[in-house]
Structure 1
Amino acid sequence: MVKLIHTLVDHSDDVNYCAFSSSCLASCSLDKTIRLYSLNNFIELPYSPLKGHTYAVHCCCFSPSGHILASCSTDGTTMLWDTHNGQTLAVLKQPHGSPVRVCRFSPDSTYLVSGAADGSIVLWNVQSLKLYRSGSVKDGSLVACAFSPNGNLFVTGSSCGDLTIWDDKMRCLYNEKAHDLGVTCCDFSSHTVSDGEQGSRYFRMASCGQDNQIKLWLISFVDFLGCELKYECTLNGHTAPVLACAFSYDGQMLVSGSVDKSIIIHDTKTRSILHTLTQHTRYVTTCAFAPDIPLLATGSMDKTVNIWQFDPKQHCTGSLLEDEPKMSVENWSEEEVSVWLCAQGLKDLVGIFKMHNIDGKELLSLTKHSLTNDLKIESLGLRTKVFRKIEELRIKVDSVSLGIPDEFLCPITRELMKEPVIAADGYSYEKEAMENWISKKRRSSPMTNLPLHSLVLIPNRTLKMAINRWLETQQKYNETT
């Protein structure tokens, strides 16, 4: 359960960014100010607002200790503030005075990165307050940046859609076209993950963009070998450009905010939607989790910052959708179907579903034809969204009821594989599904989006034997129950 506990209404223009320390919340705005609030009671601190920028403030962030706040602006500067008294510590001027769009501290507070509209990126030495290294991306504005948890590398995102990986010497290690219409934000999880194959450890990173998508990536870094960026999956749910994304501090949740005015909280393990929040009245521009307490802050072009609180018992535990019925879907009542619709952002369809007495069993049996002819849902886009959500629900139901191991499911069809084959990307797919993928002149991996150096498909006999053994076990179990 997530509930709205406070709304901050002090900014006089769009809220561009918000950030937490262990004791404060900071927000910045087109109104040229940064405001700070105590987490004890959400009262604005005596020295707030911070004024010094002469144009819009695009981003703000706390140093890991929380003693310094950085902010950057269209005025071409990144300012450092003392969070104890609000005093200005430094004004760092971007080379050529280009508008600064993003700033980030390294995990050990040694460096501060600032990225600008002209593609320039500067690594500042925080102790000396002097420029340490500088560089630039080939095309576009720098609009996103995030440090890896160990500080050995950082990633920038550009308005042209590229993700670029840099080391702490400002050497470009890797570049990837990630979002067709431009990157808007990126963030690292603080916890490493295993690739599940060779036991290698990776940093998990999320990026979002103007293409309405959120992508998860795995990044490995070895000093003398460079680094590897590996596409993991795409999280869906938003119907418009996604402007912000952020991991919870335990890495179990990812929050995103969009032009569609909604906030979606995703479970990073199951990749399901946990909560959909729709209280903002204009574009959601920023979202952030608090480090030590179950709080979430979201900011919007509606000039407000909303503070959300998680039920401590459910915080970061991989719970189901907010208020989603916990019983088997087939047993859902009409009211529980209505709750599910609301959680999917389909509140406007509740009346139609109730009129046709759609319960859980009926919900799972709906088809595109019945949505059109029986329920009379005229909008093609709405029908497509409903049907996609129902398909996702069917997959969830099938996976839970059968207990199918994820590695037995084809990444393309999400169905149990019958003839698994290994493709050149190293992943296993259902033979027919992969042949269809290739027949449509697709020459990239369904899992990584990277080019396939070969179109040869090799039968995965080991996996097929494992699937058959699992099926035999299931059959014996069913015969005895």
Structure 2
Amino acid sequence: MLATCSADKTLRLYHTLDFSEVSYSPLSGHGYGVHCCCFSACGQYLASCSTDGSTIVWSTVTGEIEAVLEQPGRSPVRVCAFSPDSTHLVSGASDGTLALWNFPTKTLVRMGAVNETTIVACSFTPCGQMFMTGSTYGDLRLWDLNMNQLHTEKNTHDLGVTCCCFAPKILSGGDVLQFRLASCGQDSTLKIWTVSRSNQGSCKMHLIHSLTGQAAPVLSCAFSSDGQLLVSGSVDKTVTVYDASQGALLYTLNQHKRYVTACAFSPTAPLFATGSMDKTVNIWRVEDQCSSNESKHFPVETATSSCRARELPGHSRLLVSDWSEEDVGAWLCEEGLEVLGETFKANNIDGAELLRLTKETLCSELNIGSVGLRSKVLRKLEELRAGCVCTGAPDEFLCPITRELMVDPVIAADGYSYEREAIQSWIATKNRSSPMTNLPLQTTLLTPNRTLKMAIGRWKTSQ
């Protein structure tokens, strides 16, 4: 399977044989955007973490929620990672806290913290006895399972680390364990390190390569299953492929139209996936995992599959909230719900009203008695909200909390703009912390951002 997670609060799963979406996808359970997801070693479980302060464990067999792990402090959780044997799960949060969970029992084992920073990256060593974290402060820290900091490498990436990952194989054993680590950051570099630990417990990190093949912050990196290849994605919209041993650039891929935020190799097939803010996931096939002396012939297909949000014709060129009653009727017909056309028309359901529909209103106000029909409408509505409401909208027009187009933008004490209702709800439930910085808000006063509201209005008119 391939799993993706999104700011639209959902996860989606696909079969990697034909990249068809599994029947129970998408998975909905998080209250805010989902930052990270990862499979357990056996593939039977999927973990995901979110701005809502939780890490959810899902069954990949049924799509059901197996457990909800609440981050101590309820700070937004930015990253989660399984140990290679799936005995442990680590989650890192915006307030610098780390939670180590016993995965079989789904219980919290230990807590750790790095003060005044956000944990944004985490990876276990292939032996599973240690893990590395990276933060917005720019440091890499190696921890053992007792939450002891074994080594700290400061200032590894100017302006902050964005991702780190261990190669899946141990380089050497005996008296000194040695691993290969990749890290990337806001300084537009991808770095390859060796990390070693002696029997006496001393740890060292040595920089092998500093790769500058991308012209903007590098957001993600991943090793192939044999450790020979290293892939990275960047704000400059490119995907780069390197020979991990030599640090040689093998290929630059330019198919994405916006930031490349995630990349992952298949552990069993010559495939890797890249995800982007252009709302696509591209699947790439590595024809031959060539050695370094053949690197100039490195063959990679262009995207063999693209999992893109479905684009509706005609009326969907408008924001859904601007649809007329006729547009809603056309949408019902396209979705095979034409039986509800007269009901929706009689109740004057336009785009704005469509987005407000709930299970309760479908039953009590529209008198839709069929449970199956109500469920289908709700499922289609969720797809519509996720895929079409903000298609093409500039990022600065989207609320950082809901990732939806703002209607009543306000400026909070942290200097960021939010949808009024979303930030009011956040302040009421998150102890007056900033969603963006996790620092305390000095005041709960909200100032209308009229300039932004007018800009959004002009953009909507142009669409």
TM-score range relative to shorter protein: 0.5 to 0.7
SS of residue in 2 equivalent to 1:275? strand
Match of 2:159 among 177, 181, 199: 181
Instruction: Name the amino acid aligned to 2:249.
Output: I
Per the alignment, do residues 315 and 126 of structure 1 end up closer, same or farther by CA in structure 2, a change over 3 Å counting? Answer: same
SS of residue in 1 equivalent to 2:168? strand
Instruction: Name the amino acid aligned to 1:315.
Output: Q
Cα distance in 1 for partners of 2:176, 2:129 equals: 17
Query: Which residue of 2 is the match for residue 69 of structure 1?
Result: 46
Q: Per-residue displacement from partner, 1:219-277 (whole Å, max 9, x unpaired)?
A: 11235423222222211201000000000010101000000000000001221111110
Cα distance in 2 for partners of 1:212, 1:277 equals: 16
Match of 2:247 among 253, 268, 271: 271
SS of residue in 2 equivalent to 1:193? coil
Question: Is the 1:160–1:182 Cα contact (8 Å) retained in structure 2?
Answer: yes
Match of 1:50 among 27, 30, 37: 27
Cα distance in 2 for partners of 1:33, 1:55 equals: 9
SS of residue in 2 equivalent to 1:150? coil
Cα distance in 2 for partners of 1:200, 1:131 equals: 31
Instruction: Name the amino acid aligned to 1:218.
Output: T
Per the alignment, do residues 141 and 32 of structure 1 end up closer, same or farther by CA in structure 2, a change over 3 Å counting? Answer: same
Match of 2:78 among 101, 114, 127: 101
Q: Per-residue displacement from partner, 1:113-156 (whole Å, max 9, x unpaired)?
A: 00000000000011111110001013310000000000110000
Query: Which residue of 2 is the match for residue 122 of structure 1?
Result: 99
Match of 1:203 among 179, 193, 210: 179
Answering whether residue 221 of structure 2 is matched by residue 231 of structure 1, we say: no
Query: Which residue of 1 is the match for residue 272 of structure 2?
Result: 296
Query: Which residue of 2 is the match for residue 310 of structure 1?
Result: 286
Question: Is the 2:260–2:274 Cα contact (8 Å) retained in structure 1?
Answer: yes
Question: Is the 2:175–2:199 Cα contact (8 Å) retained in structure 1?
Answer: no
Cα distance in 1 for partners of 2:258, 2:141 equals: 30
Answering whether residue 259 of structure 2 is matched by residue 283 of structure 1, we say: yes
Cα distance in 2 for partners of 1:169, 1:301 equals: 37
Question: Is the 1:105–1:113 Cα contact (8 Å) retained in structure 2?
Answer: yes
Cα distance in 1 for partners of 2:32, 2:171 equals: 41
Q: Gaps (5+ residues) in structure 2?
A: 300-463
Instruction: Name the amino acid aligned to 2:229.
Output: M
TM value normalised by structure 2:
0.62
What percentage of residue pairs aligned between the two structures are identical? 54
Question: Is the 2:162–2:185 Cα contact (8 Å) retained in structure 1?
Answer: yes
Q: 1:174 Cα shift?
A: 1.0
Question: Is the 1:142–1:157 Cα contact (8 Å) retained in structure 2?
Answer: yes
Q: Per-residue displacement from partner, 1:280-317 (whole Å, max 9, x unpaired)?
A: 00000001111111111000000100001111xx2253
Cα distance in 2 for partners of 1:95, 1:193 equals: 36
Per the alignment, do residues 111 and 194 of structure 1 end up closer, same or farther by CA in structure 2, a change over 3 Å counting? Answer: closer
Question: Is the 2:164–2:181 Cα contact (8 Å) retained in structure 1?
Answer: yes
Query: Which residue of 2 is the match for residue 215 of structure 1?
Result: 191
Q: Gaps (5+ residues) in structure 1?
A: 1-23, 325-481
Instruction: Name the amino acid aligned to 1:72.
Output: C
Answering whether residue 85 of structure 2 is matched by residue 111 of structure 1, we say: no
Per the alignment, do residues 285 and 163 of structure 1 end up closer, same or farther by CA in structure 2, a change over 3 Å counting? Answer: same
Answering whether residue 130 of structure 2 is matched by residue 136 of structure 1, we say: no
Instruction: Name the amino acid aligned to 1:206.
Output: A
TM value normalised by structure 1:
0.60
Answering whether residue 65 of structure 2 is matched by residue 88 of structure 1, we say: yes
Match of 1:320 among 270, 274, 295: 295
Which runs of at least 4 in structure 1 moved beyond 4 Å after TM superposition?
Answer: 198-201
Cα distance in 1 for partners of 2:71, 2:117 equals: 16
Cα distance in 2 for partners of 1:88, 1:316 equals: 41
Per the alignment, do residues 115 and 199 of structure 1 end up closer, same or farther by CA in structure 2, a change over 3 Å counting? Answer: closer
SS of residue in 2 equivalent to 1:212? coil
Summarize the alignment of residues 340-355 of structure 1 with structure 2, pairs less than 5 Å apart. none
SS of residue in 1 equivalent to 2:73? helix
SS of residue in 2 equivalent to 1:230? strand
Q: 1:193 Cα shift?
A: 3.0
Q: Per-residue displacement from partner, 1:21-78 (whole Å, max 9, x unpaired)?
A: xxx0000000000000001110000010000001000000000010110000000000
Q: 1:320 Cα shift?
A: 2.0
Query: Which residue of 1 is the match for residue 226 of structure 2?
Result: 250
Query: Which residue of 1 is the match for residue 136 of structure 2?
Result: 159
Cα distance in 2 for partners of 1:244, 1:299 equals: 10
Query: Which residue of 2 is the match for residue 78 of structure 1?
Result: 55
Instruction: Name the amino acid aligned to 1:59.
Output: C
Which sits farther off after the overlay, 285-294 or 266-275?
Answer: 266-275
SS of residue in 2 equivalent to 1:192? coil
Question: Is the 2:127–2:170 Cα contact (8 Å) retained in structure 1?
Answer: no
Question: Is the 2:67–2:106 Cα contact (8 Å) retained in structure 1?
Answer: yes
Per the alignment, do residues 286 and 322 of structure 1 end up closer, same or farther by CA in structure 2, a change over 3 Å counting? Answer: farther
Per the alignment, do residues 130 and 316 of structure 1 end up closer, same or farther by CA in structure 2, a change over 3 Å counting? Answer: farther
Aligned residue pairs total 297
Instruction: Name the amino acid aligned to 1:114.
Output: S
Question: Is the 1:262–1:276 Cα contact (8 Å) retained in structure 2?
Answer: yes
Instruction: Name the amino acid aligned to 1:274.
Output: L
Per the alignment, do residues 43 and 222 of structure 1 end up closer, same or farther by CA in structure 2, a change over 3 Å counting? Answer: same
Bigger relative contact order, structure 1 or 2, given CA contacts below 8 A and separation 6+? Answer: 1
> What root-mean-square deviation, in Å, do the aligned CA atoms of Structure 1 and Structure 2 show?
1.8
Match of 1:59 among 33, 36, 49: 36
Question: Is the 1:275–1:322 Cα contact (8 Å) retained in structure 2?
Answer: no
Cα distance in 1 for partners of 2:191, 2:48 equals: 27
